[in-house]
Structure 1
């Protein structure tokens, strides 16, 4: 009925009532038995209903579909899909990883957010970087070239697992004949051979290659009674990794969250386990959460995705930038990418935002440092307790405003007692990317059914429509408190019109005085396939 439109629905319901005929008389017999009734039921496209509708001037808009035609069956099938879809939506749960919905930013591994996932039978656990800028989920597997299994100095990771298909009783190789293989554009000479993949990323000389596997991913329900779900997914058995994947970023795997049918959210939704949507929330302290099937809330802000037939990416349109009291119209599209640590803008957007920020900054601008990738940095006295940061808002298509609560990073040189903060924005020659730092402080909803991006200010620990995180927000060992936006309190004193007064905290005694750590960060900012360029 939905396929015919609301007017047709009303016609059909009225006709059903009109044509309910009394089939058996109601006179009681001598035994005083209760009367029996019968009704004549008509198909929605029956000849009688059609004649009645025409005689009553209640014909369907566009006419009635002829029996046996493609249109006739399409309308019937559409009706069935609608009702099955409603039942599916009511039954679908929100899911997250079996180890919990917590995500953690690890500064020493590219400033990306990581989550613990379990694969195979028996299950093997991997710490994977979450990347909305790519589609393929891959892990190191029977490695010929992978990151060292022991990562030193990460502060969180010591031993990394490697997957082996021969040790999993549920593992299956995806053959060349599979439709999933043809969607990757691979050419196979033998249909039963494994489907090989190669993905090259923007980070210098960074790639992953191997073959595709099908196995189970362990998830757990978040709403209602908690139970483990074994979800069949396809992922890459990454035999060869290069570049940043050898240690600087995602050394234990990359979890692609893109729109392609090869991504995990696509598998989960197509199998009916979740609604075709998911959310991520990155907290100011470096902890966060991820939830599959989360469709957001009615009070969130939204903007539509730009549909690109070539690239299955989350791309939105920006129509203006507000910096403090400055409000300027500027049009560009940008990729929303959790796999890029910081935000990249090309001109004119980069210069517009940066120069307006600089004009409103209250602190002295620092000299350019080749070891720091950010152009606009400002010195702070060690005795100063707060710094003024202009409020930044991206105006999106449709009118919703995207607030940037996390625009700066703080850097300290403890030996010289020098402090500075930088606008965490990098100039790009081509791509516009809203990176992880500009997503922080918001619950971001990737609704792939409605094709919209949703967001709402969120602290990632509220119980609203989700389970709490098993973490202590005030003590995240993964995030050194002297480098990164967590060293200030964005909620300290807020001026809703022009900017934010932020509290500057002193760095810990064991913090490294070197600023050269940003050199390695630059190598892993873009965990994004080259195919998107």
Structure 2
């Protein structure tokens, strides 16, 4: 049994054909950036050793549980640090892109997060930061700390101007506490230069959630890339996340309206003032195979006050549905499987050792249907003998009202975010 579980772990976290040489020399071009999974063979952050399947599932569950806590903290306007019993919880986003900061430029592999705004990078001398690369402000002639009177200082959490005239602030990210100086410098993405980009220069950090070389926020807030580069990219971008099974493990991030797909199904974006960073959409129903599942409408209702509704998020691994929705989808999935014996693996409660007969699952949004093939809702062992439904119910008391369409379900789809026209689009695209 342990050897079978071990083979499942391999297909999840490592490329199918490791004997092949991955194409790691792909260069960013135009306004398109290569997007890497952190465990890509091309990533310096790749896990060095194989974990047991049980440990891998526990790690993924911990990551998603921590992520949901983070999303929950956004509506509450306060920081929520996860509590773990005897184990470390990490909450780093899963995908990274190259960014060049400063004059002359220094290259960092920054995590991308569609639910976060302000960028931050570890700066030279940071206490508690990763031993990976850090940005050295003293080597950049265009680096400029922002004073307390700068308007951006009021847009960061917990600004601190008690000792100096430079704007400092304290915040949390996952289970990491961060102390940073608000600053500006030039940022280059592919061939595009953004002059005077505002970001946090991290001086101290505690915890394990901080991305090793910083974070680039793709949310909707005032300090996000989407807002700060609006004159260049018109607050429009798209991304395609590679499959975990891909040998190259790379996708793309396209910035600006001119390089987006012209024919793509879209759904209106909904705005929640209390969660201004998040990309809400109106999920109306879910279909398993050809049957629309009987789910109470209240499971999908958008409510800005409570934070209820449905969001697309790149930092959560497996889609999380509120309990009434998940239970109904899971039960219909099981019904389609007839009398086949149900087993569990780690946190997945619906697994089979016979071929799965459910061909598709469809998310039905306002204005568009997104039909997922099996690779987007099943985790399979390498030998194909075990398959698990790769979704979960929202944890009790942690974002229990929020549906999150996560990265596993988004893989090999082009996700378009068009803020000016207030729409989110989805189209199939083999980007692995």
Shift of 1:217: 0.8
Cα RMSD between the aligned structures?
Answer: 2.7
Shift of 1:241: 3.2
Shift of 1:276: 1.8
What is the rounded CA distance, in whole Å, between the counterparts of 1:184 and 1:111 in structure 2? 20
Identify the residue that residue 36 of structure 1 maps to in structure 2: none
Identify the residue that residue 280 of structure 2 maps to in structure 1: 315
What is the rounded CA distance, in whole Å, between the counterparts of 1:418 and 1:328 in structure 2? 27
Assess if the C-alpha contact under 8 Å between 1:357 and 1:390 holds in 2: no
Identify the residue that residue 281 of structure 1 maps to in structure 2: 240
Go from structure 1 to structure 2 and tell me whether the alpha carbon gap of 1:379 and 1:129 turns closer, same or farther (over 3 Å shift): farther
What is the rounded CA distance, in whole Å, between the counterparts of 1:111 and 1:455 in structure 2? 21
Go from structure 1 to structure 2 and tell me whether the alpha carbon gap of 1:182 and 1:435 turns closer, same or farther (over 3 Å shift): same
Q: Deviations over 1:180-238 (max 9, x none)?
A: 1112243444596232233334x4x23433122211111235xxxxxx53543111112
What is the rounded CA distance, in whole Å, between the counterparts of 2:146 and 2:96 in structure 1? 27
What is the rounded CA distance, in whole Å, between the counterparts of 1:128 and 1:97 in structure 2? 17
What is the rounded CA distance, in whole Å, between the counterparts of 1:218 and 1:193 in structure 2? 28
Shift of 1:294: 3.1
Q: Which runs of 5+ in 2 are unaligned?
A: 1-27, 40-45, 48-91, 301-308
Q: Which runs of 5+ in 1 are unaligned?
A: 1-95, 150-159, 222-227, 381-385, 461-472, 474-533
Assess if the C-alpha contact under 8 Å between 2:121 and 2:213 holds in 1: yes
2:352 paired residue among 378, 388, 398: 378
1:125 paired residue among 96, 107, 116: 107
Aligned partner of residue 122 in structure 1, secondary structure: coil
Identify the residue that residue 419 of structure 2 maps to in structure 1: 448
Identify the residue that residue 167 of structure 1 maps to in structure 2: 139
Identify the residue that residue 317 of structure 2 maps to in structure 1: 341
Go from structure 1 to structure 2 and tell me whether the alpha carbon gap of 1:186 and 1:198 turns closer, same or farther (over 3 Å shift): closer
What is the rounded CA distance, in whole Å, between the counterparts of 1:427 and 1:207 in structure 2? 28
1:403 paired residue among 363, 371, 391: 371
1:253 paired residue among 214, 217, 224: 214
Identify the residue that residue 263 of structure 1 maps to in structure 2: 224
Go from structure 1 to structure 2 and tell me whether the alpha carbon gap of 1:389 and 1:253 turns closer, same or farther (over 3 Å shift): farther
Within 5 A, what are the aligned runs for 1:189-268?
A: 189=161, 193-201=165-173, 203=174, 205-221=175-191, 228-245=192-209, 250-268=211-229
Shift of 1:282: 1.5
Within 5 A, what are the aligned runs for 1:324-339?
A: 324-328=289-293, 330=295, 331=297, 332=300, 333-339=309-315
2:127 corresponds to 1:144? yes
Within 5 A, what are the aligned runs for 1:403-422?
A: 403-405=371-373, 406-411=376-381, 419-422=385-388
Assess if the C-alpha contact under 8 Å between 1:140 and 1:163 holds in 2: yes
Go from structure 1 to structure 2 and tell me whether the alpha carbon gap of 1:320 and 1:184 turns closer, same or farther (over 3 Å shift): same
What is the rounded CA distance, in whole Å, between the counterparts of 2:236 and 2:114 in structure 1? 12
Assess if the C-alpha contact under 8 Å between 1:174 and 1:214 holds in 2: yes
Q: Deviations over 1:343-380 (max 9, x none)?
A: 111121111222222222479555334xx232222235
What is the rounded CA distance, in whole Å, between the counterparts of 2:270 and 2:235 in structure 1? 17
Q: Deviations over 1:71-123 (max 9, x none)?
A: xxxxxxxxxxxxxxxxxxxxxxxxx7789621111345668121121111222
Identify the residue that residue 359 of structure 2 maps to in structure 1: 390
Assess if the C-alpha contact under 8 Å between 1:360 and 1:390 holds in 2: no
Aligned partner of residue 194 in structure 1, secondary structure: coil
Aligned partner of residue 229 in structure 2, secondary structure: helix
Assess if the C-alpha contact under 8 Å between 1:279 and 1:294 holds in 2: no
Shift of 1:300: 0.9
Assess if the C-alpha contact under 8 Å between 2:285 and 2:363 holds in 1: yes
Go from structure 1 to structure 2 and tell me whether the alpha carbon gap of 1:139 and 1:185 turns closer, same or farther (over 3 Å shift): closer
Identify the residue that residue 435 of structure 1 maps to in structure 2: 406
Aligned partner of residue 408 in structure 2, secondary structure: helix
Q: Deviations over 1:35-57 (max 9, x none)?
A: xxxxxxxxxxxxxxxxxxxxxxx
Identify the residue that residue 292 of structure 1 maps to in structure 2: 255
Q: Deviations over 1:273-313 (max 9, x none)?
A: 22221110113323210011136444211111111112221
What number of residue pairs does the alignment pair up?
A: 330
What is the rounded CA distance, in whole Å, between the counterparts of 2:197 and 2:237 in structure 1? 16
Assess if the C-alpha contact under 8 Å between 1:140 and 1:162 holds in 2: yes
- Between stretches 129-138 and 328-337, larger displacement belongs to 328-337
What is the rounded CA distance, in whole Å, between the counterparts of 2:330 and 2:117 in structure 1? 32
Shift of 1:324: 0.7
